[in-house]
Each structure stands twice: as structure tokens, then as C-alpha cells.
A and B are shown apart, each in its own frame.
Chain A
């Protein structure tokens, strides 16, 4: 499947954020690169259907998505398993292995409010990667991660992202140099 956007426009309070963006997102990773405040999150929110564009066309985005948002958006008083169960309905059989590969302890029953920022970010990513989604929207998924954890995450996104569009908004393309890039905020 492919997702097409043509002439996409969005402004907040009269300030244009996206002005006539056109792009195609094919299966595999596509990086959405831009400095902060230049529309990465806005583009993902439009594709996820959380906001309406002021102009332009979006095709192919009416599918089942999973996302890592700018914030972790975890249920603070639940454990990792509880958070997965909430979002996915059950803890998938492969969750243990995936969490372990992300450097998380699958048997950790502490509420996630006790976790570090990096651990929470990796759990948010695990939740998205485990979801039965046709497309992934990952908004700065490496925030707060050190080099080693970032590399693990990139590897897993590559492994599990194949066959479906993965939109990865980031300002740092380290380890993703081979992926197509849609640059925002450039004249």
C-alpha cells in the first residue's frame, strides 16, 4: 500500500505550518526530516486523521495505524504488560522477545510511572511495533535514547516495518541514511 499527499496545507491561527506538501509514502521507512516546529507532527496528525487539512488531498491513509506520539502516552499506573493489554487487547506472544530486544525486562511489573524516560519511550515504540497496523507513524521515537538503544530501535523498526509504510519524523537521520527523506520547512 502507498499513502499519497498532494498540496497539503495546514495553518494554526493564521501561521502556515504546511504549505502545499506533496509526497508518496511507500512500504518501508520514510523519514520526515525537519527542524523543530516545521510541521513534522502536524503531517503525522493529519495522516492519522486527528486533524483536518486546510487544503490538499490525502489518499491511502484511511487504514489501521499505530503510532508513537510526541509524548509517550502511557497509562502511568499500569505495568508494561498492562499498557500493551490496554492498547492491543492482549499481550502478544512475541511481546516478551521484542521488549527484551529493546532492553526492557518483560517481567517488570512496576507501574511505568516508575520507569525512566528512555524505558518509557522504548515501551511506546514496542506498543506501536506490536500493533496489528497497516501503517506506522513514529514521531521522534528516539527522544531520550542513547546511541546503543537508538540503534536497537532502528533495527527493530526496519525488521518490523517492512511491507507497510513507516513514517518516521526525526531531526536526526543517524542510522537511517538509506531511507527516503521528505524534508519539511525547506524553500
Chain B
């Protein structure tokens, strides 16, 4: 379980950051460029918030990255369901899943840039990063399904839909939830990295790249904070939906 963030601890680290930034600015002529302070980052974020370009970038990136997450979840659920009862399919999918898990995301980004246009890059990369954990966890959840309940369902001739709702979903949802939580963090990191390399127009990644080129460190931190907030918001919303489904399914 992730350690809980205590307000005093967060405040202490923000103070240390502020102190470090002030010290660098005092020590070097352009020290302020090396490390913008949290106050500068917050002020820059407040400047960005009212602009339509900001919301367009947030919308474009969210649509692609979260879209990639959703598409990948759907595919992983489908393939895990099929593979659970078909050892040959599990064996067939084993190598590509292992490769996606092991190969650095930058390699895939560069390869995908050759195949795809920049607009589709972050969707593809976030989907790619999400697939292995969701597929493997769902597969494991299905493997752990209670065979005694499946026998009961067989004897009572319980239809497939009710069997999914009563036996499979409660078993799989906790595995899916934990994978989705991990994957949501992963897809934002990988998706933003893909945008920085692919530079699709009007995205958060493009803004991060611009911040790098012009040494706009307040922008860099402001956009990074936006990514963190978006990641947390999407995670909360998605997991709340999963929890709602789990409650209905009796998980």
C-alpha cells in the first residue's frame, strides 16, 4: 500500500524546494532557470488556467491517453477471458506481453513514430503500457475463480450472464482494480513522454517540450502538476466506477 501523504510532510518538502530554488537563484546569475520555485510554478499555473489553449491541451492529451487506457483495458479483458480457458492462447500471448513489459518505453515511442502519426502516438503508447498489467492480473483473477462455484453453476444450469455477474466478476474485479490503479499512473507517464517525443500539436507534451527548449522551468513544473492532477482525478473516477460495479456484483 502506498504511504499516506501527510500535510506536514508535503509542506516540509515544498519548503525545501522553495529554499533550494532561492539558494540557486542567489548563487548563480541565472540560477532561477535551473529550479523554479513552487510559488513561481503555482503562479504560472494560475496564468495558464484561464486560457483556451490550456484547456485544449488538457482535453487533447486526456482524450488520447485515457482513450488508450480504456481501449487497452477492453482488449486486455477480452483476451484474458479468452486465454483463461485456452492454454495455447496464453502461450501465444506470453512472448509479446513479456516484451512489452521489458522493453523501455522510449524504444516503442520511436518505433511507433515510424508507423503512426504524432496524433495517434500517445494513444498507442498508453494502450501498450496498460495492456500487460491488466491482462496478467485479470488472467490471474480468472485462474483463481472458485471451481466449486462453477460446479454449482453447472448443476443449477445458471446462464452464462448470471455466472459472469455472480462468480467471475467478484473474483476478477479486485485483480482488475489493482491493475487499473497501477496502469493509470503508467499510461500518463508513458503518454506524456510519447507526446514530448512525437510533439502532436496542442498537447501537454508539446507544452513540456516548449518549456524545455526555452528553459521555462515554471511552465515545466506547472504542466507537470497538471499531469499529476489529471492522473489522480482519472484514477479516482475510474476506481470509483469499478468499486460501484464491485458493490453491485457482490465483490
A-to-B contact residues, CB < 8 Å: 48-50, 64-67, 69, 71, 73, 75, 77-78, 82, 86-89, 111, 131
Contacts and interface: CB of A to CB of B under 8 A. Distances in A.
A86 B161 CA distance: 10
B149 interface: yes
Given A75-B167, A87-B152, 16 more contacts: A48-B155, A49-B154, A50-B151, A69-B151, A69-B152, A73-B151, A73-B152, A75-B166, A75-B170, A77-B170, A77-B251, A78-B166, A82-B250, A86-B158, A86-B162, A89-B162
B contact residues, range: 10 to 19
Residue from A64, A66, A87 with most neighbouring chain B CB atoms (10 Å): A87
Nearest to B167: A75
A187 to B, nearest CB: 32
Q: Is the interface of A mostly helix, strand, loop or mixed?
A: loop
Given A69-B151, A73-B149, A73-B152, A87 B251 contact: no
Contacts, number: 44
Q: Is the interface of B mostly helix, strand, loop or mixed?
A: helix
Contact of A87 (B148, B151, B156, B170): B156
Contact of B250 (A65, A66, A75): A75
Contacts of B154: 49-50
Contacts of B149: 73, 75
Interface of B: 148-149, 151-152, 154-159, 162, 165-167, 170, 250-251
A68 to B, nearest CB: 10
Contacts of A77: 170, 250-251
Nearest to A128: B156
Contacts of A75: 149, 166-167, 170, 250
A131 B152 CA distance: 12
Contacts of A78: 166, 250
Contacts of B250: 75, 77-78, 82, 111
Contact of A64 (B152, B157, B158, B170): B157
Given A69-B148, A69-B151, A78-B250, A88 B156 contact: yes
B76 to A, nearest CB: 25
Contact of A66 (B148, B151, B155, B166): B155
